[in-house]
Each structure stands twice: as structure tokens, then as C-alpha cells.
Copies of this chain bind each other. A is one copy, B any other.
Amino acid sequence: MFVSQKCQYALRAVFELARCHGQGSIKIARIAEAQAIPRRFLEVILSQLKQAGFVASQRGNKGGYFLTRPPDDLTVGEVMQFVQGPLGPVSCIVGDAKNPCPLYGNCAFLPMWKEVQKALSDIYDNTTFQDLIDQEKQKAVEGMFCYSI
């Protein structure tokens, strides 16, 4: 598995905030319940997302979190990159000076890794949270056609 639990929690939390965008502050407890995320862990995650500027918060009674940007201006890739670090398959490709490939420039796998990175980027960087919301709505409509009456 390539996407950590923490990163999945972060994405689900942001998705929940995106779904409620414009409705004011959303409480941690509500996000935790709606998206099945351990509450205390979610605190840590949201606090980091706040540092990064993806979300903002309101303290005190009636407080909570909310997105700082509209859902159609926030991509899955941005959040993932912040939580997990570079999205490439191997370190030589993301320019990690700590782990230079000893075969760099001569590695038979380099073209393949680049292909993979592009494929991932094509998906993650082109999926906004608004896309996910729309997709979910569409699915609900399809569900009505198939299962109701």
C-alpha cells in the first residue's frame, strides 16, 4: 500500500470540509464521525493542515474548521504531497539529494519511473475536491434510478 492511513484520513477530512463548504465551522467530532477517523489523531492531522494553510479554524464554543479555498481550487495532489511528501515512485526521480541513485543517468528503470510519476500526477493533480463531490452526487442519482420505487 502506497498511501498511508494518515494521508487517507487527511483526504477524507478535507473532503468532508469541502462538502460543507460555506456552512461555517465544522467540528472535529463531526468530521471524525462522518469519515470514521480516530478523533485524537484527527486533531493532529487538522492541526498540520492548518499550518499548511489548507484549512483555518475557529476556537471556542461553536468553533470548528473550514476550508480556506473553494473545493474546485484544491486538488487531491496538493494535500497528498503535503502529508506524504513527494509523490514519485522512487527517490531518484523526485530529486532527493539524500538518496542519489548510484546509477543515475544509467539506470534502466528511469524511463519507467518517469512514466509512473506522470501517470500519478495526471490523476492526483487533476482531481479537485469539487470533482469528488460532483462524482458522489452523480452516484446518488444513479442509485435512485437503479434501486428506488
Residues in A lying within 8 Å of B, measured CB to CB: 1-3, 8, 11-12, 15, 35-36, 76, 85-86, 88-91, 94, 96, 102-103, 107-109, 111-113, 115-116, 119-120, 122-124, 127, 132-133, 135-136
Contact B102 A15 (CB under 8 A): no
Question: How far apart are A137's CB and chain B's nearest CB, in angstroms?
Answer: 10
A132 and B109 contacting across the interface, CB-CB below 8 Å: yes
Q: A89-B1, A108-B132, A135-B111 are in contact. Are A102 and B12 (CB under 8 A)?
A: no
Could you tell me if A115 and B123 are in contact, using CB atoms closer than 8 angstroms?
yes
Give the docked Cα–Cα distance between A89 and B94 (Å): 18
Contacts of A1 in B (CB 8 A): 85-86, 88-91, 94, 96
Contacts of A120 in B (CB 8 A): 116, 119
Chain A contact residues, majority secondary structure: helix
Given A3-B89, A89-B2, A90-B3, A127:B112 Cβ within 8 A:
yes
Set of chain B residues within 8 Å of A76, measured between Cβ atoms: 109, 112
> Could you tell me the distance in whole angstroms from the C-beta of A21 to the nearest C-beta in chain B?
14
A127 to B111, CA, bound (A): 11
Q: Could you pull out 8 A-B pairs where Cβ atoms are within 8 angstroms?
A: A1-B94, A2-B89, A8-B90, A12-B109, A35-B103, A108-B135, A111-B135, A112-B123
- State which of B91, B96, B109 has its C-beta within 8 Å of the C-beta of A11: B109
